[in-house]
Amino acid sequence: MSWSATILTLFPEMFPGPLGTSLAGRALREGIWGCQAQDIRVFATDRHRTVDDTPFGGGAGMVMRPDVIDAAISATLAKNDERPLIYLTPRGRLLDQSLVRDLAAGPGVVLLCGRYEGVDQRVIEARQMLEVSVGDYVLSGGELGAMILLDACVRLLPGVMGAPESAVEESHSAGLLEYAQYTRPAEWQGRAVPPVLLSGHHAEVARWRRQESEAVTRERRPDLWTRMQVAGGSAAS
């Protein structure tokens, strides 16, 4: 059974979008994963297909109604569906590679894409949704966040990437940023490739790459570096 993604959205025409191209698109066509977009508006009960209302307590914007969202979820989740229900929101836990690996190892995901000022808290709690954020910024809706999460998961599915070891050595796979990459020509505009990469000495190359990963992580992501230090994952001070 393939890894399955269902996206609850007001804009189903956005999917698969970019996920229909490149590695994810090929895997989709080969049946390695499945993608279904469900229009939330179908589950509105009035003739205007209203999915939102004004927030209690006042304030700007509109809030997505719990009854409409719950109806969409009920129609989407099959009996004994073990896929996690995820709400994309700036309030959620930060999406990281650890969570991506866990999701990719499961049966798939059901993603709720919020709009307006968000979703009524009661349905989030009633459905025990996992709230996930793709970064410390605000988007117009959850659809782009859903695409980010799906792309990160799909590329880890067996048979998607040409070289499985690529997923092991890239940024965040071991809690560090990836080392710099080089290819031909060996010298370009007066800039030479580091000699160790031309040496053919695999142990030295591996040591250099680890040191480079640590250096760039210390410089650019001190938060990750501190986390590595606490976990005892650094090979060098």
Q: Is the dihedral of CA 122, 127, 133, 134 positive or negative?
A: negative
pLDDT confidence of residue 166: 60
- Reported as a pLDDT band with limits 50, 70 and 90, residue 172 is low
Which pLDDT tens digit goes with each residue over 2-18? 999 999 999 999 999 99
pLDDT confidence of residue 174: 74
Query: How many residues appear in the chain?
Result: 237
Please count the structural domains in the chain.
2
Judgement on whether residues 21 and 108 belong to the same structural domain of the protein? yes
Question: Is pLDDT above 50 for 235?
Answer: no
Judgement on whether residues 17 and 134 belong to the same structural domain of the protein? yes
- Contact, 75 vs 47, CB < 8 A? no
pLDDT confidence of residue 231: 80
- The answer to whether residue 162 is domain-embedded is no
Judgement on whether residues 28 and 135 belong to the same structural domain of the protein? yes
Cα-Cα-Cα-Cα dihedral of 62, 66, 67, 69, to 10°? 90
Provide the token pair at 85: 């229900």
- The answer to whether residue 167 is domain-embedded is no
Residues of the domain holding 125: 3-154
- The answer to whether residue 141 is domain-embedded is yes
Which pLDDT tens digit goes with each residue over 175-187? 899 999 999 999 9
Provide the token pair at 223: 């938060």
Give the residue from 121, 154, 187 where a domain finishes.
154
pLDDT confidence of residue 228: 85
Judgement on whether residues 54 and 136 belong to the same structural domain of the protein? yes
What's the rounded mean pLDDT across residues 119-136? 98
Question: Is pLDDT above 80 for 44?
Answer: yes
Q: Show the DSSP H helices in 135-177 as ranges.
A: 143-154, 166-169
Judgement on whether residues 115 and 205 belong to the same structural domain of the protein? no
- Reported as a pLDDT band with limits 50, 70 and 90, residue 43 is very high
- The answer to whether residue 27 is domain-embedded is yes
Judgement on whether residues 99 and 63 belong to the same structural domain of the protein? yes
Judgement on whether residues 199 and 144 belong to the same structural domain of the protein? no
- Give the CATH number for residue 189: 1.10.1270.20
What's the rounded mean pLDDT across residues 87-108? 97
pLDDT confidence of residue 162: 73
Judgement on whether residues 143 and 198 belong to the same structural domain of the protein? no
- The answer to whether residue 47 is domain-embedded is yes
* Mean residue pLDDT across the chain: 93
Please tell me the distance from the alpha carbon of residue 225 to that of residue 237, in angstroms, as a whole number.
Answer: 11
Question: Is pLDDT above 70 for 118?
Answer: yes
Judgement on whether residues 134 and 218 belong to the same structural domain of the protein? no
Question: Is pLDDT above 50 for 97?
Answer: yes
Judgement on whether residues 117 and 214 belong to the same structural domain of the protein? no
Question: Is pLDDT above 50 for 45?
Answer: yes
Give the residue from 122, 154, 186 where a domain finishes.
154
Provide the token pair at 195: 């000699």
pLDDT confidence of residue 1: 73
Q: What is the pTM of this model?
A: 0.88
Antiparallel, parallel or unpaired: β 3-9 and 108-113: parallel
Please tell me the distance from the alpha carbon of residue 185 to that of residue 191, in angstroms, as a whole number.
Answer: 10
Which pLDDT tens digit goes with each residue over 23-37? 999 999 999 999 999
Angstrom distances, CA of residue 198 to CA of 5, 183, 189, 193, 194: 43, 10, 18, 8, 7
Question: Is pLDDT above 60 for 168?
Answer: no
Question: Is pLDDT above 80 for 55?
Answer: yes
Judgement on whether residues 95 and 129 belong to the same structural domain of the protein? yes
- Give the CATH number for residue 75: 3.40.1280.10
Provide the token pair at 148: 């980010």
Please tell me the distance from the alpha carbon of residue 236 to that of residue 70, in angstroms, as a whole number.
Answer: 51
